[in-house]
Amino acid sequence: MEIGNLFAEASQNAGVVDLDFLVLTIISMAIFLLVFTLVLVFCIRYRRGSNAKRGRLPEIMRREIEAGWTAGTVFLALFIFWWAVAAPAALQGQPAPALKIHIYAKQWMWQVEHPNGAREINTLHLPVGTPVHLLMTSQDVIHSFYVPAFRAKHDVLPDRIVELEFLPTKIGTFHLFCAEFCGTAHSQMTGQVIVMRQEDYAHWREVQPQSETLAAEGAALFHSLGCSGCHDPASAVHAPDLRGVFGHIVQLQGGRQVVADEAYVRDSILLPDKDIVAGFAPIMPSFSNVVNNGQIESLIAYIRSLSPQESAQ
Ligand code: HEC
Ligand SMILES: [Cu+2]
């Protein structure tokens, strides 16, 4: 299969990123030329023995030049900053609901899990024209998810879920790289992103062998790790019922409130003493040395599935 070239602009953001890069290059070249020309001119003009006028500039001129170039560069830098931040930010407010896909990086492969439980390795099938929201984590070292044709790149860290959004706009097959040196076989940690028509993607997803979905794995862990011993509504231990928690506001001890998102649930499992739910004793043990990253993902998926409107995506 032919793989689209790296310079293809295959996502909604690609054009903006390229323009950003071009303008930055032009600005850098212009500054480089200006400085270099001035160096040359001054070298010649003030060479030893020339009778160019030397001595201090008039006070007023010194102040104006100083203020002028300082203000100029500040505005230029602020503009570049705003511009670079505005482009990805515009993607956040996509009207269509984003397709949430989990990515697990490990030495040395990319594992992918689609919302219906379909899994694949080192390939990522996507529908064209649909915003994609990746939730990524690493099982070992730091990797970096990089699809040049989308101009999309993000470090993938252990013990944390990082998010990346983009909107594929071209049908085709594109390169996927790991862009962080992650060990001996780092250079082989590559894959393909296959962007298909929406119907084709839906069909592809349905015919994948349905492995146990994350949530089902999570449910099994929830029992085998003993979470249900406390959290089961019928349990004698006074612990919160986790049904309907995900995506909703939780009252914490001390009057704070948080929204129970992925990070909150992750922290609840690894650092239970960090946020104590109001009205409960801090008796939950930390599971930080018990569960690995993959298992945490499954537990989170399970807890999310207990809030029906959240698991719909
Ligand atoms: C010894 C009993 C006990 C065990 C075992 C236990 N928990 Fe908890 N858990 C609690 C209690 C009590 C709280 C509320 C106090 C707090 O926030 O620490 C809680 C809070 C939580 C919360 C936050 C709930 C909310 O309403 O905001 C989550 C999520 C959670 N536990 C998940 C788990 C998972 C997953 C496991 C298994 C890996 C587990 N718990 C094992 C007792 C337990
Ligand atoms: Cu890697």
| 312 confidence band (pLDDT: 50, 70, 90) | very low
Q: Is the CB of 214 under 6 A from ligand 1?
A: no
195 and 110 part of one domain: yes
Q: How far apart are CA 226 and CA 305, in angstroms?
A: 18
pLDDT of 311 > 60? The answer is no
Q: Is the CB of 306 under 6 A from ligand 1?
A: no
Name the range with the highest mean pLDDT among 125-129, 136-140, 216-220. Answer: 125-129
Q: Is the CB of 244 under 6 A from ligand 1?
A: no
Structure confidence at residue 212 (pLDDT): 65
| Single residue among 27, 59, 92 that ends a domain in this structure | 92
The answer to the question of residue 5 being in a domain is: no
| 175 confidence band (pLDDT: 50, 70, 90) | very high
| 313 confidence band (pLDDT: 50, 70, 90) | very low
**Ligand 1 atom at shortest distance from the alpha carbon of 245:** 26
The answer to the question of residue 131 being in a domain is: yes
Lowest mean pLDDT among 92-96, 138-142, 206-210, 288-292: 92-96
Structure confidence at residue 194 (pLDDT): 94
Average pLDDT over residues 130-140: 90
Sheet holding 123-127, edge to edge: 123-127, 191-196, 172-178, 143-147, 152-156
The reported pTM is 0.63
Closest ligand, as measured to the CA of 221: 1
Structure confidence at residue 125 (pLDDT): 95
Q: How far apart are CA 221 and CA 302, in angstroms?
A: 9
225 and 277 part of one domain: yes
In which domain, by residue range, is 265 found?
214-311
The answer to the question of residue 118 being in a domain is: yes
Cα-to-centroid distance, 234 and ligand 2 (Å): 44
**Ligand 1 atom at shortest distance from the alpha carbon of 303:** 29
Q: Is the CB of 301 under 6 A from ligand 1?
A: no
**Ligand 1 atom at shortest distance from the alpha carbon of 226:** 5
Structure confidence at residue 134 (pLDDT): 92
| Single residue among 154, 177, 207 that ends a domain in this structure | 207
In the structure encoding, which two tokens stand for residue 16, read together? 């903006």
- Name the percent of the chain lying above pLDDT 70: 92
Give backbone dihedrals phi and psi of 181, rounded to 5 degrees, phi first: -60, 115
Average pLDDT over residues 288-307: 85
Structure confidence at residue 65 (pLDDT): 85
Residues in the 5 Å CB sphere of ion ligand 2: 143, 178, 182, 189
- Select from 227, 248, 249 the residue to mutate for testing ligand 1; criterion: most ligand atoms less than 8 Å from CB: 227
105 and 194 part of one domain: yes
Q: Is the CB of 230 under 6 A from ligand 1?
A: yes
The answer to the question of residue 253 being in a domain is: yes
Structure confidence at residue 261 (pLDDT): 86
202 and 118 part of one domain: yes
- Select from 228, 230, 266, 307 the residue to mutate for testing ligand 1; criterion: most ligand atoms less than 8 Å from CB: 230
Q: Is the CB of 185 under 6 A from ligand 1?
A: no
Q: What is the CATH number of the domain that holds 144?
A: 2.60.40.420
Strand locations in the chain (E): 99-106, 109-113, 119-121, 123-127, 132-138, 143-147, 152-156, 162-166, 172-178, 191-196, 249-251, 257-259
Domain count, the chain: 3
Structure confidence at residue 3 (pLDDT): 65
Tell me the C-alpha to C-alpha distance, in Å, between residue 222 and each of 117, 287, 291, 301.
Answer: 18, 12, 11, 11
Structure confidence at residue 210 (pLDDT): 61
243 and 304 part of one domain: yes
Closest ligand, as measured to the CA of 285: 1
Name the range with the highest mean pLDDT among 114-123, 140-149, 210-219, 304-313. Answer: 140-149
**Ligand 1 atom at shortest distance from the alpha carbon of 277:** 17
Structure confidence at residue 211 (pLDDT): 60
Closest ligand, as measured to the CA of 307: 1
**Ligand 1 atom at shortest distance from the alpha carbon of 250:** 27
Closest ligand, as measured to the CA of 141: 2
Sheet holding 119-121, edge to edge: 119-121, 109-113, 99-106, 132-138, 162-166
In the structure encoding, which two tokens stand for residue 296, read together? 């945490």
| 1 confidence band (pLDDT: 50, 70, 90) | very low
Name the range with the highest mean pLDDT among 30-44, 127-141, 196-210. Answer: 30-44
- How many Cα atoms occupy the beta-carbon half-sphere of 60 within 13 Å? 0
Cα-to-centroid distance, 279 and ligand 1 (Å): 13
Cα-to-centroid distance, 99 and ligand 1 (Å): 29
pLDDT of 304 > 90? The answer is no
Residue-wise pLDDT tens digits, 249-270: 899 988 888 989 888 999 999 9
Residue-wise pLDDT tens digits, 52-108: 888 877 777 778 888 998 999 999 899 888 887 876 666 655 566 788 899 999 888
Q: Is the CB of 258 under 6 A from ligand 1?
A: no
| Average pLDDT over all residues of the chain | 86
